Amino acid sequence: MTTLKAIAIVLALSISSSVFASVPKGFSQVRVMDIKEDDVTFNYMSNDGTIDLKCAHVYDKPDAWDWDVWCGKGTNMLRMFRVHFLLRQYVSKTANKTAYEVLYWVTDRDADTTKMFSSATNWLQFNGMTTPDMLSFSQSVENDYASLTLQFHPSSSK
């Protein structure tokens, strides 16, 4: 039964991640970016700036692009999140352009009853065949009172 649940979850994530946003016209997928733990950092900050917590993370399920993130370890303000982070690279078939699809979904593991989650899918387009030096994305958490910011350095993931 556990194996069946795992297969169902992987299929659901695969299907949902492939249909979440359509590919820009004229682009084709080159690859899913290889992301390593050292390429990514997370930071938790309340929207009023009074709470700023450093975060630790583990790439728990690389095949599903899932991370476990703990912010404020060793303090009385520990926050726990499950993050789904996927980055796909595309190139234009007709122009000298590169595009990236970024899926950044956060599940708040501190929510007692119903798990709270936020998600975003973003498209970035660049002139030329380029790999950005750094990408940063923030996702609102805790009913929009704080944000979990992810920084990714793709140039180290070539």
State the pLDDT at residue 120: 81
Residue 60 lies in a domain: yes
Q: What distance lies between CA 21 and its chain's CA centroid? A: 15
Q: Is the pLDDT of residue 105 over 50?
A: yes
User: What does the alpha-carbon distance between residue 132 and residue 128 come to, in Å, rounded to a whole number?
Assistant: 11
Low-confidence winner among 23-32, 34-43, 86-95 (lowest mean pLDDT):
23-32
Of the two residues 71 and 115, the one the predictor is more confident about is 71
Q: Taking Cα atoms as reference points, which of 71, 91, 76, 78 lies closest to residue 29?
A: 91
Q: Is the pLDDT of residue 44 over 60?
A: yes
Residue 48 lies in a domain: yes
Residue 139 lies in a domain: yes
Confidence category of residue 5, pLDDT binned at 50, 70, 90: very low
Mean pLDDT of 91-108: 90
Low-confidence winner among 3-12, 70-79, 106-115 (lowest mean pLDDT):
3-12
Please give the mean pLDDT across all residues of the chain: 82
Domain with 45, as residue range(s), is 27-157
Backbone CA torsion sign across 158, 64, 122, 119: negative
Mean pLDDT of 48-77: 92
Residue 5 lies in a domain: no
Residue 4 lies in a domain: no
Task: Provide, rounded to the nearest whole percent, the portion of the chain with pLDDT above 90.
Answer: 46
Element (H, E) at 120: strand 116-127
Residue 114 lies in a domain: yes
